Chain A
Amino acid sequence: MTDDIHALVGAYALNAVDDLERAAFERHLADCPACRADADELRETAARLAGDTWSVPPPRLRGEVLAAIGRTRQLPPVTTAAARPEQSGWRRRLVAAAAAVALAGGTGAAVYAVQEQRVRENGTLAAEAQLREARTRSILAAPDVVVRTAPMSGGGKVTVASSALRDAGVVLVGADQAPAADQAFQLWTVRGGGAPVAVPDGVLAAGSAVGVEIVDGLPDVDAVAVSLEPAGGSVTPTTVVGQVSPI
Chain B
Amino acid sequence: MTDRGEARRADHLASVPPPPPDAADLVRAVARGDEAAFGRLYDLVAPRVFGLIRRVLRDPAQAEEVAQEVMVEVWRTANRFDPARGSATAWVFTIAHRRAVDRVRAEQASANRTMKVGAASVDTPYDEVVDEVTGRLERQQVRHCLDDLTELQRQAVTLAYYQGHSYAEVADLLATPLPTVKSRMRDGLIRLRDCLGVEVATR
Contact = CB atoms under 8 A, between A and B. Distances in A.
Interface in A29-81: 37, 40-58, 61-62, 64-66, 68-70, 72-78
Given A11-B160, A75-B77, A51 B139 contact: yes
B117 interface: no
A16 interface: yes
B130 to A, nearest CB: 5
Contacts of B26: none
B46 interface: yes
Contacts of B186: 7, 9-11, 42
Given A14-B189, A68-B68, A57 B38 contact: no
Interface residues of B, number: 82
Interface in A143-187: none
A81 to B, nearest CB: 10
Interface residues of A, number: 49
B88 to A, nearest CB: 10
A15 B157 CA distance: 10
A119 interface: yes
Contacts of A37: 200, 203
Interface string B80-109: 100001110111011011100110001000
B182 A8 contact: yes
A50 B96 contact: yes
A108 interface: yes
Interface string B46-68: 11111110110000000010011
B151 interface: no
Interface of B: 31, 33, 35, 38-39, 42-43, 46-52, 54-55, 64, 67-68, 71-72, 75-80, 85-87, 89-91, 93-94, 96-98, 101-102, 106, 124-127, 129-130, 135, 138-139, 141-143, 146, 157-158, 160-162, 164-167, 170, 179, 181-190, 192-193, 196, 198-200, 203
Given A47-B86, A48-B192, A49-B157, 14 more contacts: A8-B182, A10-B190, A13-B185, A16-B170, A43-B90, A47-B87, A52-B146, A53-B51, A55-B125, A57-B49, A62-B43, A65-B68, A65-B72, A69-B35
